[in-house]
Structure 1
Amino acid sequence: MSELFPALGNFFGLNDEKKIADSGIRNIFTPHQPIAEFDLLLGRKDEVQSLVQTLSTPGQHVLLYGERGVGKSSLANVVADALRVLLQTTVHIKRCDQSDTFESIVRTSLAEVGADLILTGASEEVGGEAGADLKVLKGTVAKRVVAEYQVSHSLSPSTVAEALTDLNGLLVVDEADAIGNREDRRKLAELIKLLSDGGSAYKLMVVGIAETGSELTAAHPSVQRCLRETKLERMSDPELSEIVEAGSEKAGIRFSEKATNLIVALSAGYPHFTHLIALKCAERAVVEDRQMIELNNLQAALQLAVRDAEGTLKRSYDDSTRSGATTMYRDIVGAAARIDTEEFSASALREQIEEVTGNPISQGSLNNYLQRLVTADGSSILQRSAKGVYRFSDPRMKSYVRMSRAA
């Protein structure tokens, strides 16, 4: 049976998979998980420096927000790691989902003072060399926290702030947009204000998908003074090029200038897609024992990238453009993806449709197709921003469509 394994490995592609795994390329280009190491976060050095400086400033906390896919979690990971190393501080990272509450978010931080909300108990054995007086103080605080929690299974921001005030640490609240209850978001904002007002060295970095920072703080009126809001924008073309160039240098392969430029153009500002396309290119190069990736190597890689893209994008695109009678829906969406601006007019869309199909289209005819493709509430692939003005409901769709059309 063992003699058959090499043949079976070739049949199932396992030998190729082993070459890819051994190359380490998937630890360099990482489209499917946030980056965790500073030297792999490419193109965001200014943002790292700014956020580390803010969190090192007394009384200042961070709110990091932006669109899906721009690299918020990766940036937060690297900033947290930098603070852990530079300031020798304790870091807790809480990734939220819809079931999370204010209490579940601060649970690990409260454990630092001996308050266990799961066991609803308190321990005075905190800090091995902290000294007897500090242990007694922390034990008293922990008992007070647990006592309040046992009454109603909830905690006030003031109780949590009092418990954390003497700690030196950082709590990263990632995916804060998933927190279902607006009151829990308000409590987080209130905790930030209380920690700042009390001069605590304990910091919070709240991270989430939002168009405005107030969405993640329930529009708390008094938190602005101590909360540095940072909207993470899409990356510029030079920054996306840096991902390809620096990543390829680490991997020991090279992308031609034309190949790099096409990857950047298809990415439409999203580092996720740059990592995805570059990874698929590099995987094929590893399997084929090539050190150079040229423009003509991209098509096969793009087909793999489209296959591996997020399911919601694929489903939305397929559902919106599927038709047995015409390719026009696909052509209209493809034309919209060619427009570089976030919003575009009907006339600009008609110009691009003519470029794609070679035939002019009247506004009346276009409107007939847009009845299926456009809604005002963002439930379809295109959204109406104003009369005669449109945008992609999910901004990442532009990059996905560009990849699909190029594959």
Structure 2
Amino acid sequence: MNIDVDSLFFPAQAIKSEKSFFAGRKTLLQDAVKAVNTPGVSVVLYGERGIGKTSAAWQLYDLLQGDKTLYKLWNTKPIELRYKFKCVWVKCREYMSSTEDILLKLLMPSSERSTFYDVFPNVFNNDRFLESIKLKFKIDLKVVGAEVENFEKAKDNFYEQAKTLLDKKVAIHSIFEEVLLEIKRQDPESEVIIFVDEIDRIQEKKGLGSLIKDTDHAKFVFIGIAESLNSLIADHKSIARKLGTSAFNMDGLTESDIRWIFTKVQHMFPNKIIFTEEFILQVIEKSGGYPYPVQIFGHLGLTHALETTLNPPYKVTKDHFGFIVKKFLSFQEGYEEYSNLLNILNGDSTFKREVLHIIASSPYKWTPFNYIKDGLSSRGLRRFFDTNINNLVEKDTILKYKQDDKQQVRFTDPIARIISMLHKQEAG
């Protein structure tokens, strides 16, 4: 029997087209569709890292463009859309630092085939429009991005052409508006929705509020961690009118969502694949409701059962979990450092007290390890930090300082918390 585990569990990617494997989020997605369907309202999806925001956003992307697959799976009547929505998508990368970078990225081709250039090719093939942009702004859009795949090169091309302009940032926003106007001219019935994923990577977030406030011919769906949402809202009090009640905080998968994931696979291979109740309870307990560990535990468990069982049924049991944890931890380079650091901070030493002081007094709500390392007073402590925490410094894993009845430090990355917990159990 040919069982392709990679087509049943998806630990390494957001769920996009594999809609029949998308678990939960029904109410959230329906509410988000209703929000976008409301005139003038933009949407924010936010939550912790790894909570499944991008997968949910891709489902929203398709729902808004009339895809009814999820409604059929939910056995629910589709929400009637007011407009003919046309969606574009841009993912913020580490080399993007500002609102202007987002707008430039939208003018370029993308691997997802989801930018202005990809979704509205008639605009970028319209010589009349391109010539008008050239006359107004001295900018050749084809040279900027349409014929350039490298973002940094496209950005350099833009600024090289714009060097005679007094305000280059204003030029980018103006060209963005011109593109939206041309889309409206060519397709008056359409309503453009711009998805911006991972807004927490954008350093200069203040411009996002102005972008929402000043854009008349498109609406936005922003996806990011909660801290980025606070920065976004703080930018412009008046954007509350456009956001309304449309900021959605995503929680983890529920117990029933996790059970559904394994039941779905079992139903595809009746009496061939079995996940025992004890195994599913282990996944529920150790995953914390985060999609990645749920998916990786399922993938590793089924793979192990297939490799160690000659004939079906292939039963994944609680006994497989020791192997799964060891395998999972082996994927996480330097995972011991997570536990090492927590052990140090749970102890009582000069090093602990100094690190806690740096975190508590830092200007960051979430403190990067490099900031801690730079603040350590002695060369010996810095060497100790390097020796024990080096992998975390490279990953820039973040610590959050809390003070309730006692001082507490925790990783803001949920996977780091899960890794630390599993390693502690393994060591115990």
| TM-score, normalised by the number of residues in structure 1 | 0.67
**Matches of 2:102 and 2:5, distance apart in 1:** 34
Per the alignment, residue 214 of structure 1 pairs with: 230
- Any unmatched runs of 5+ in structure 2? 68-80, 110-119, 141-157, 185-189, 360-366, 370-397
On the 8 A contact 2:210/2:235 being kept in 1, the answer is no
Per the alignment, residue 393 of structure 2 pairs with: none
Q: CA deviation at 1:371?
A: 2.5
Q: CA deviation at 1:96?
A: 0.9
Per the alignment, residue 235 of structure 1 pairs with: 253
> In structure 2, what residue type is equivalent to 1:69?
G
On the 8 A contact 1:316/1:381 being kept in 2, the answer is no
> In structure 2, what residue type is equivalent to 1:213?
L
**Matches of 2:321 and 2:284, distance apart in 1:** 12
**Matches of 1:162 and 1:246, distance apart in 2:** 47
Answering whether residue 399 of structure 2 is matched by residue 402 of structure 1, we say no
After superposition, the Cα gap between the structure-2 partners of 1:52 and 1:146, relative to the gap in structure 1 and judged at 3 Å, is: farther
Answering whether residue 191 of structure 2 is matched by residue 171 of structure 1, we say no
Q: CA deviation at 1:72?
A: 0.9
After superposition, the Cα gap between the structure-2 partners of 1:288 and 1:277, relative to the gap in structure 1 and judged at 3 Å, is: same
Match of 1:306 among 320, 329, 337: 329
Per the alignment, residue 263 of structure 2 pairs with: 245
> In structure 2, what residue type is equivalent to 1:399?
I
**Matches of 1:395 and 1:385, distance apart in 2:** 19
* Range with bigger deviation, 42-51 or 214-223: 214-223
Q: CA deviation at 1:368?
A: 4.9
- SS of residue paired to 2:237: coil
Per the alignment, residue 101 of structure 2 pairs with: 104
On the 8 A contact 1:374/1:382 being kept in 2, the answer is no
Answering whether residue 3 of structure 2 is matched by residue 28 of structure 1, we say no
Match of 1:268 among 288, 295, 303: 288
- Identical positions, percent: 20
**Matches of 1:251 and 1:373, distance apart in 2:** 56
Match of 2:37 among 53, 56, 66: 56
**Matches of 1:391 and 1:249, distance apart in 2:** 43
1:14-48 CA-to-partner distances (Å, cap 9, x unmatched) read xxxxx9xx633223321222111332220222222
* Range with bigger deviation, 260-269 or 48-57: 48-57
1:108-158 CA-to-partner distances (Å, cap 9, x unmatched) read 64579xxxxxxxxxx995389xxxxx9857864675466596225433546
After superposition, the Cα gap between the structure-2 partners of 1:236 and 1:141, relative to the gap in structure 1 and judged at 3 Å, is: same
> In structure 1, what residue type is equivalent to 2:420?
V
- Any unmatched runs of 5+ in structure 1? 1-18, 113-122, 129-133, 322-328, 334-365
Answering whether residue 91 of structure 2 is matched by residue 95 of structure 1, we say yes
After superposition, the Cα gap between the structure-2 partners of 1:210 and 1:250, relative to the gap in structure 1 and judged at 3 Å, is: farther
Per the alignment, residue 207 of structure 2 pairs with: 187
After superposition, the Cα gap between the structure-2 partners of 1:124 and 1:50, relative to the gap in structure 1 and judged at 3 Å, is: closer
What is the total number of aligned residue pairs between the two structures?
323
Report matched runs for 1:3-402 at 5 Å: 23-37=3-17, 38-86=19-67, 89-100=85-96, 101-107=98-104, 109-110=106-107, 126=123, 140=132, 144=136, 147=139, 150=162, 151=165, 152-154=167-169, 155=171, 157=173, 160-165=176-181, 166=184, 168-180=191-203, 182=204, 185-195=205-215, 198=216, 200=217, 202-211=218-227, 213-216=229-232, 219-227=235-243, 228-250=246-268, 253-289=273-309, 290-309=313-332, 311=333, 314=335, 316-320=337-341, 329=343, 367-368=348-349, 371=352, 375=356, 377=359, 378=367, 379=369, 383-394=401-412, 396=414, 397-402=416-421
> In structure 1, what residue type is equivalent to 2:338?
Y
On the 8 A contact 1:145/1:163 being kept in 2, the answer is no
Q: CA deviation at 1:235?
A: 2.8
CA RMSD of aligned residues (A): 3.6
After superposition, the Cα gap between the structure-2 partners of 1:368 and 1:111, relative to the gap in structure 1 and judged at 3 Å, is: closer
After superposition, the Cα gap between the structure-2 partners of 1:153 and 1:315, relative to the gap in structure 1 and judged at 3 Å, is: farther
> In structure 2, what residue type is equivalent to 1:35?
I
> In structure 2, what residue type is equivalent to 1:298?
F
After superposition, the Cα gap between the structure-2 partners of 1:62 and 1:240, relative to the gap in structure 1 and judged at 3 Å, is: same
**Matches of 2:422 and 2:269, distance apart in 1:** 23
On the 8 A contact 1:64/1:229 being kept in 2, the answer is yes
* Range with bigger deviation, 160-169 or 171-180: 160-169
Q: CA deviation at 1:70?
A: 0.5
- SS of residue paired to 1:168: strand
> In structure 2, what residue type is equivalent to 1:97?
R
Per the alignment, residue 391 of structure 2 pairs with: none
1:352-402 CA-to-partner distances (Å, cap 9, x unmatched) read xxxxxxxxxxxxxx5459927972525486744345142523251332233
After superposition, the Cα gap between the structure-2 partners of 1:316 and 1:93, relative to the gap in structure 1 and judged at 3 Å, is: farther
| TM-score, normalised by the number of residues in structure 2 | 0.64
- SS of residue paired to 2:49: coil
**Matches of 1:260 and 1:143, distance apart in 2:** 63
**Matches of 2:295 and 2:138, distance apart in 1:** 45
